[in-house]
Amino acid sequence: MILKKRYLVLFILSISMAAQHAPAKKQTKSILILNAIAHLGNGKIIQNSAIGFKDGKITLVADATQIRLAKDAYDETIDATGKEVYPGFIAPNSTLGLVEIDAIKSSDDESEIGVFNPNVRSIIAYNAESKVIETVRPNGILIAQITPRGGRISGTSSIVQLDSWNWQDGLMKEDDGIHLNFPSSFRQNGWWAEPAASSLNKDYSKQVGEITRFLTNAKSYLADTAKERNLIFESVKGLFDGTQTLFIHADKELQIIDAVNLALENGIKKIVIVGGFEAYKAADLLKKNNIGVLLKRVHDMPENDDQDVNLPYKMAKILTDKGIVVGLENSGNMERMNTRNLPFLAGTCAAYGLDKEQALQLITSNTAKLLGIDNLCGTLEEGKDATLFISDGDALDMRTNKISKAFIQGRTINLENHQSQLNKIYKEKFGQQ
């Protein structure tokens, strides 16, 4: 009987630990956060702040020492003395919610068969109940751009807030951009355990020509009023009328220059480089055409033997000094699980030349601008979404990034996850509560 009870307890425990936390309900009470150091996300700091929000929108951003508030102006007041307030961090070029377990094919929905797939919409495959999403929110990542992979044109991304029942509830900006994987003039040879070796890509001109023909045919189709319907060509209309951004995934200098020139020649109005390891070599072209960069994971090694070993850490500083709007992305190995480390990528950029508030902009206001959602989020400003969090200390430092409260559109979200539950269980087991 005792054994049966133990099994029953373990079964109930396993169910409770596997269950997804219900998304927070709509904000009903106005909230005021007082006395925290507020990092506004635009380079400014308020040392003793008053941040208020109601009905999901920020209604007050002020210096608490310079204003007088009526006691009943807000329904709830949070004394955050000694703590810090930040706008929610944004993870661009992310596959959160598209893959749950890499080894289980049925849980992997990040790419489609085919080469030119601009009609593929990642948002309809997004799983808002992914267990991985719960692990990124406790580090301040509250918004993500859900992005497809594969092919020459992978498809269309969309932007979501990370506390919702489904993709419809989480949607912030639908079909914000189309992702082009531009070919490289060099191919990487060998396998991961060997030194990287490169050889010329003999098909480079052919591959670039295929992209050119696709865009030319799409423009011709869109200009023709009497036509047989083509959903693939119709899906790139936003690139030509300026309602969508072309995200060009490219790292090498020649790649970036050829890709930008090709896009400009075809009348594409909004362009962002994703990856951009050698973007600093094409900085004049990028700045002239107001093209920003979502910089590849900075916790990495240089790509060539003759490069500074610290170049990846310094890249954000180099590009910022050249007048480029820079954000940080985290694609690569273990990218979904590593999304939680996004603030520490920004912290590394601060350690290698950027001012701490400039580094914060890499994952807040700059990314919001590049994704076209800066009217909604990215900074603590009146009228924007109340998507923000309170940290015990510096949120860009893994030693002090300890979030006590987080809000998405004014809703107080649950910061518990499978890992934190296990932490509590075993602390209790060994009497460390």
Asked whether residue 142 is domain-assigned, the answer is yes
220 to each of 155, 201, 223, how far by Cα in Å? Answer: 20, 30, 5
pLDDT tens readout for residues 104-142: 888 888 899 999 999 999 999 999 999 999 999 999 999
Q: Which of 80-89, 225-234, 255-264, 273-282 has the lowest mean pLDDT?
A: 225-234
Best CA proximity match to 263, nearest among 295, 234, 285: 285
Give the three-class secondary structure for 296: coil
pLDDT of residue 172: 97
Q: Assess whether pLDDT exceeds 50 at residue 2.
A: no
Q: Which of 232, 211, 233 is nearest to 223 (CA)?
A: 233
The H or E element that residue 260 is part of is helix 253-265
For residues 105 and 82, state if they share a domain: no
3-state secondary structure of 384: coil
- Numbers of helices and strands, H then E, in the chain: 13, 18
The enclosing H or E element of 359 equals: helix 356-361
Q: Give the tokens for residue 253.
A: 């200098």
Domain with 39 in it: what CATH number? Answer: 2.30.40.10
Question: Residue 336 falls within a domain, yes or no?
Answer: yes
Q: Which domain holds residue 186?
A: 89-377
State which of 35, 70, 86 marks the end of a domain: 86
Question: Do 47 and 113 reside in the same domain of the chain?
Answer: no
Q: Which residue, 86, 109, 130, sits at the end of a domain? A: 86
Q: Are 65 and 212 in the same domain?
A: no
pLDDT of residue 197: 61
Do 263 and 224 sit in the same domain of this protein?
yes
Residue 253 within a domain? yes
CB atoms within 10 A of CB 54: 19
Are residues 104 and 57 located together in one domain of the fold? no
342 burial via Cβ count (<10 Å: 0-12, 13-18, 19+): buried
Same domain, 133 and 202: yes
Whether pLDDT at 4 is above 60? no
Q: How confident is the model at residue 194 (pLDDT cuts 50, 70, 90)?
A: low
CB-CB contact of 277 with 315 (8 Å) = yes
- The total of structural domains in the chain comes to 2
CA angle 297–298–304, rounded 5-degree value: 100
**Nearby residues of 306 by Cβ (< 8 Å), 6 or more positions away:** none
Residue 123 lies in a domain: yes
**Same domain for 99 and 39:** no
Q: Which of 70, 86, 102 is the last residue of a domain?
A: 86
Q: Is 140 in contact with 149 (CB distance < 8 Å)?
A: no
Q: What is the pTM of this model?
A: 0.91
Does pLDDT of 9 surpass 50?
A: no
Q: What is the pLDDT of residue 432?
A: 81
Chain mean pLDDT for the chain: 91
Query: E strands of 162-212, at which residues?
Result: 171-181, 186-189, 197-200
Q: What is the mean pLDDT of residues 272-300?
A: 96
Q: What is the mean pLDDT of residues 24-37?
A: 95
**Could you tell me if 166 and 279 lie in one domain?**
yes
Beta carbons of 380 and 390 less than 8 angstroms apart: no
Amino acid at 226: A
Report d(CA 366, CA 329) in Å as an integer: 12
- Beta strand 388-391 with 326-328 is unpaired
pLDDT at site 147: 97
Question: Over the stretch 61-99, which tens digit does the pLDDT of each residue have?
Answer: 999 988 887 767 899 999 999 999 999 999 999 999 999
Residue 224: which CATH number?
Answer: 3.20.20.140
Q: What's the pLDDT score for residue 209?
A: 96
Q: Are residues 78 and 95 in the same domain?
A: no
For residue 20, the surrounding DSSP H or E stretch is none
* 265 occurs within a structural domain: yes
- Tell me the pLDDT tens digit for each residue of 138-192: 999 999 999 999 999 999 999 999 999 999 999 999 999 999 999 998 877 666 5
pLDDT at 80: 96
Q: Is residue 406 part of a domain?
A: no
